[in-house]
Amino acid sequence: MSTMQYEDIVYQEKDGVATITVNRPESLNAFRLGTYEEVADAILRAGWNKEVGVIVLTGAGTRAFGVGGDSSNKKWERAGRGTIGVPVEQVHAAIRDVPKPVIAKVRGYAIGGGNVICTVCDLTIAGESAVFGQVGPKMGSVDPGFGTAYLARSVGEKKAREMWYLCRRYTAREALAMGLVNAVVPDGELDAEVDRWCAEILDRSPTAIAIAKRSFNADTEHIRGISSLGFQAVALYYQTDECKEANSAFRDKRKPNFRGRKG
């Protein structure tokens, strides 16, 4: 049983469902170093608790599920666990490795790393307010594993490349149509809808579900190796002038000048 004291998340267990809420609404539930560690710990805590049958991952408030890494932390100065200085791989691994379904419950923005988490989760249920998208090439970053290769498994190669190359945003209904989410309901009905999905899962054989999840994961497990290699490259990228220009432009609220153009 985990003994970690949580500061950035709220962890609750009720009637066989563990709910993990990222509780940083003032920053649109962006992840700082401790957030990654707490979320990974909580997923593993719930995932190996025999009293828990389903895990729900969500964000506090109504504005955002999550927007990835906290932009107040300079990427090239991160010095925590993980190849890029934050243990993002740990969160993705925890979601995949626990033998329970992990459901992303989404209100508001699911952007950048938040979008990747929705991709990695077993199921994603969204309110009408949900907005999905990637921002890496605008911000000097990229997810070179599950956020790209596995995304393509979910939405298709063309759409996945569109999401990363153009950094557009997509409504909940558009995300449903492309296969990124499983269901969309009005925001006021989201909690009840997720409860219904959890109740159905809890009525099924936990062993059969665990075997099914392992089987699904086995088909895409090679992406973990792609991710490990890719994040090593991203760690080097974070030290470049190009990445630093993206971060500076974001803070200055201007367009980045990646190619040295004047004016």
Q: What is the per-residue pLDDT across 83-117, written as a single tens digit (0 to 9) for each?
A: 767 889 999 999 999 999 999 999 999 999 999 99
Nearest to 120 by CA among 88, 162, 142, 75: 88
User: What whole-number distance in Å separates Cα of residue 259 and Cα of residue 223?
Assistant: 31
Q: Would you say residue 260 lies in a domain?
A: no
Q: Tell whether 219 is covered by a domain.
A: no
Q: In which domain, by residue range, is 119 found? A: 9-188
Q: What three-state secondary structure class fits 29?
A: coil
Query: In this predicted model, which residue has the larger pLDDT, 57 or 256?
Result: 57
155 within a domain of the structure (yes/no): yes
In a domain, 137, yes or no: yes
Q: Quote the pTM value.
A: 0.93
Q: Is the per-residue pLDDT at 4 higher than 50?
A: yes
The predicted pLDDT at position 82 comes to 67
If residue 152 lies in a helix (H) or strand (E), which one and from where to where?
helix 151-155
Q: How far apart are CA 141 and CA 144, in angstroms?
A: 9
Question: Quick check: is 248 in a domain?
Answer: no
- Order of strands, sheet of 102-106, starting from the edge strand that comes earlier in the sequence: 9-14, 17-22, 54-59, 102-106, 123-127, 183-185
- Number of domains forming the structure of the chain: 1
Contact, 147 vs 115, CB < 8 A?
yes
pLDDT category of residue 253 using cuts at 50, 70 and 90: confident
The CATH number given to whatever domain includes residue 52 is: 3.90.226.10
Q: Is 222 domain-assigned?
A: no
135, part of any domain: yes
Residues 40-49, mean pLDDT to the nearest whole number? 98
Residue 247 belongs to some domain of the structure? no
Integer Cα distance of 183 and 151 in angstroms: 17
